[in-house]
Structure 1
Amino acid sequence: MDILGQTPLWAAARTLLASRVDDFFGRWRKVRKTFDLQDIHDLRVSSRRLREGLDLFAPVYPPALSRRSRTVRKVTRLLGAMRNADEAILFFREMAVGLPPRFEGELGGFIARLESVRRHELRLLEKRLEKFDVATIRSGFANIVAAPFVFPRHNSGIDPFTPIVHFAAASLEARLAELLPLVPAACREEASEAQHVLRIAVKRYRYCLEIFADLVTDGYEEILAVCKEWQEWLGTMHDLDVFAGMVRDGGLPSEVECVILNAVAERRKTAHAGFLELRGRHPFEQIGSWVRGAL
């Protein structure tokens, strides 16, 4: 079914959620075959997009839809440790190239330990994913998604016959209102927790925008690219904070630890500068204006 701006919310929700469900379960099947780094990353992103869709459209569905969201959240969490190990291995291998030769042995041993953790997490992931009855879970999703309410739920405040473009605009404004107050605190270089919270808010805005992509009449790719750039700078800072914690807990000699932590800190400083430059060039208030004009 093609989604137009005047398509009723209940009909659009059914189509848009079905698309997200199909993507999620397709990627889940692929991960169970390959356990490839990129496939795992793609499944985590797909799971977050689906969770955003389930949250958005919950007002026109029974509570059973929210309970289904818990299953998706479990999959997201299962993949987190694997993703962190994979990204850390790639990062420290690349870093090893620029370190003095006398540190090669210690850093090589550290990377080997990360690879051992990755193998352990892989075995756990394989076992845990096997416990899910994917066919039954998917069937349950399909049955619920196919049957949204066509009459307003008590106290929901949502009319299922609202044109989807109006619902999309209101949803994106709500995500923007959650996001904007978080930006000033995140601009302080040392404010890692504030940056982490903002990163999550930016992801939710981006996923919301992607769900309503067909309704954005002009400039969608440019708007999405800027949202991704915000997410990437914030994500880089978060990853570097995680990597620094791994180094501190890695049992490295103090001299090696100090050198690596200094290198991580320099990269984080560069990432923070990139984030501030992006904020000046494309503040999120501007993104919100672009979206309003394009819906």
Structure 2
Amino acid sequence: MPPPTPIRGLSPASRLDEAARRILAGRLADVRHPEFSLSDELSLEGVHDMRVATRRLRAALQVFRQTGRLDEVDRQVKQLQDALGEVRDIHVQRDWLAQATRKQKAQHRAGLKDLQHRREALLDDRSARLRRALKRWSERTVPLLLLRMGEMKDAHAYGGGRIRRHLRQRLKRVEKRMARYAEAPDAITAHELRKKTKKFRYALEVFQPALSRTMEALLEILVPLQEGLGELHDADVRLELLGHVSAEAPPAEREAARTLLETVREERAQRAAEIARELQRWQSEQIIRRLRRMLG
């Protein structure tokens, strides 16, 4: 995951509107950097980097919502994020299928290659949608964001109580999703926990200049859980894809998909066990309580 652009010249005593302008400018630059490479080719790396950058931009927009009229900007950035996500998902599926095909016996390779071709056909349509989303982003969203940044007014302190309240709210949502996952550790609850954990991490990054002493420790605690949930999500997406194919695709593809299902089920079980151990560590070490203390 590429790191965000470091924001210089801010302290906890900085005005909130000034901090918002500087951080949003940095997050905007992070989105625009891979955008230029995507004008030629929608590469796997470029799409991934821009998707991560849009998530970080949205986190900042939501944090600074009270400093200006940012809801419409956030909605438009989400449209771009969704379009990037659709292409990214196909990229990941395609590359995983290519690796899986090389490991299979000859009689199953043809079916898996047919399945790859189906993914490629979807990629053409979703790439066209992403091209349109990139055009709207450049022509509409960027000018609107720059306008809203110029209108911001908020004399509160960047490192004041509002920051910590926002982070405590994010942490509370993570805690609730953990409890739901403990009750029903299925694909849906795992995905929701993953999203809440990721949003909490991106919100922490927004406040890094104001929380520099605790930031490294906070992020270090979150990374193993977030990465493990990402790997679990990948396995769940593969299971959904293979389950659909094994039930409805042509015979050669169904047979090829069924050969992979058991392997992916085992992978999913392994990832779930790793998450269970990580959540047990959070409980035994009282990490939620420690995070609350860090946030004041």
1:108 to 101, 106, 113: 113
Partner amino acid, structure 1, of 2:117: A
Matches within 5 A, 1:174-189: 174-187=169-182
Matched residues, number: 283
Cα 1:115/1:180, change in 2 over 3 Å? same
Identify the residue that residue 195 of structure 1 maps to in structure 2.
Answer: 190
Identify the residue that residue 53 of structure 2 maps to in structure 1.
Answer: 46
Is 1:18 matched up with 2:47? no
The answer (yes or no) to whether the contact 1:185–1:191 under 8 Å persists in 2 is no
Is 1:81 matched up with 2:76? no
TM value normalised by structure 2? 0.85
Deviation at 1:252, TM superposition (A): 5.2
Matches within 5 A, 1:231-250: 231-250=226-245
Task: After superposing the two structures, state which structure 1 stretch, 86-95 or 114-123, moved more.
Answer: 114-123
Deviation at 1:133, TM superposition (A): 6.3
Deviation at 1:260, TM superposition (A): 1.4
Deviation at 1:94, TM superposition (A): 2.1
Partner amino acid, structure 2, of 1:139: P
The answer (yes or no) to whether the contact 2:158–2:210 under 8 Å persists in 1 is no
Identify the residue that residue 290 of structure 2 maps to in structure 1.
Answer: 289
Identify the residue that residue 272 of structure 2 maps to in structure 1.
Answer: 272
Partner amino acid, structure 1, of 2:260: I
Deviation at 1:50, TM superposition (A): 1.1
- Any gaps of 5 or more consecutive residues in structure 2? 1-7
Identify the residue that residue 156 of structure 2 maps to in structure 1.
Answer: 161
Partner amino acid, structure 1, of 2:35: W
2:96 to 88, 91, 114: 91
| Whole-angstrom distance in 2 between the partners of 1:57 and 1:84 | 30
Identify the residue that residue 147 of structure 1 maps to in structure 2.
Answer: 151
Partner amino acid, structure 1, of 2:211: V
TM value normalised by structure 1? 0.85
| Whole-angstrom distance in 2 between the partners of 1:161 and 1:219 | 21
The answer (yes or no) to whether the contact 1:234–1:275 under 8 Å persists in 2 is yes
C-alpha RMSD of the superposition: 2.5
SS at match of 2:104: coil
Deviation at 1:26, TM superposition (A): 3.0
Identify the residue that residue 142 of structure 2 maps to in structure 1.
Answer: 138
Partner amino acid, structure 2, of 1:273: A
| Whole-angstrom distance in 2 between the partners of 1:125 and 1:36 | 12
